[in-house]
Amino acid sequence: MEDFKFEHVSVLLDEVCDFLDPKETDIIVDGTLGLGGHTKELLKRTDGKARAYTFDLDSRNLKIARDTLQRFEGRVSYINDSFSTFDHYYKVMKMDGVDKVVLDLGLSSPHLDIAEHGFSFKRRGPLDMRYSRKQKITAATLLNKLPADQLTMILKSFGELSNAKLIARKIVEERAVAPFKYTDEFASRIEICFHPKDRIKGLTCIFQAIRIAVNDELRTLSKGLESLYNHLSSNGRIAVISYHSLEDRIVKNFFRKLEKPLETDPEKSLRSIYADPLVEMITKKPVKPGEKEVEVNPRSRSAKLRVIRKI
């Protein structure tokens, strides 16, 4: 691995902590720990007296986060798994309700900055893109094995690419000549599918689509949100930062269903199709980073924060 020094900047840090408003007695869940920035600030605001349960699929992130959160030793549990498995750990670790939840769905700095993780076409690395090394399927597996129709579906659904069929056909043609092994080599062999001025954006969308497919990110998000909400205490809050429209749509629709649940009582449904709200939408519109934050941390520019409170 490269000897890399990370300057980690947590996205919308003050906004997340202000909206969650952590208390000393809180049970906090960070479903996407990354390098630990959000959890560190949340615990600092409670004088370190709250307890945090933290999840990350990448054991390397957990190792860095342990150092970041060293001062809170004994108050943080580190779980090398997806937050979509929260139901299991809630029982096993005998948790008693959850008060605050934070999900920062973006890639952590090491994923983009360390070439061997294979998430970026700007750095030469293996076509990997796995968050967890326990998983067997890599980006190379999908790109070299899937038939054109499945590749088209992935590129269209997860990358929102209008020329998905053309790209899929090019991938199949190129891999017949030689299998794809490296990120930069893959990018250079398919970039012809885009006009030169659209190539960076197009390749970014392709890498996003493959990454989502490799890690089953959208299903994980839907399942995890439901699980976390089900264990949320009354007045508990969930804050979610998303980075692209697919994630944000899932979060927005999930929160809306809770804000306007369908009435199940036949008698009451005659008067209204909606039952009483289950949550209060703390953020009426998604909160975005200000100009100053984007200037300091350009990767934050597409971030959207949504927050709810359970009634």
What are the tens digits of pLDDT across the range 65-97? 999 999 999 999 999 999 999 999 999 999 989
Query: Given this model, what pLDDT does residue 141 score?
Result: 97
Question: What's the confidence (pLDDT) of residue 267?
Answer: 80
Give per-residue pLDDT as tens, 180-194: 999 999 999 999 999
Q: What is residue 109's predicted lDDT score, i.e. its pLDDT?
A: 63
Exposed (0-12), middle (13-18) or buried (19+): which is 147, by Cβ within 10 Å? exposed
In this prediction, residues 296-311 reach a mean pLDDT of 94
- 149-170 per-position pLDDT tens digit: 999 999 999 999 999 999 999 9
The Cα 225–Cα 309 span in angstroms is 13
List pLDDT tens digits, range 218-268.
Answer: 999 999 999 999 999 999 999 999 999 999 999 999 999 999 999 888 888
Using alpha carbons only, give the angle 154, 148, 84 rounded to the nearest 5 degrees: 25
Tokens of 162: 């209008």
Predicted confidence at residue 3, as pLDDT, reads: 43
pLDDT at 5 over 90: no
Q: Is the pTM of this model over 0.85?
A: yes
Go through the domains of the chain in sequence order and give each one's CATH number. Answer: 13-110+218-310 (3.40.50.150), 116-216 (1.10.150.170)
Q: Which helix (H) or strand (E) holds 300?
A: none
Q: Are strands 98-104 and 76-79 parallel, antiparallel or unpaired?
A: unpaired
The length of the chain in residues reads 311
Q: How far is CA 218 from the centre of its chain?
A: 9
Q: What pLDDT, on the 0 to 100 scale, is given for residue 87?
A: 97
% of the chain surpassing 70 pLDDT: 95
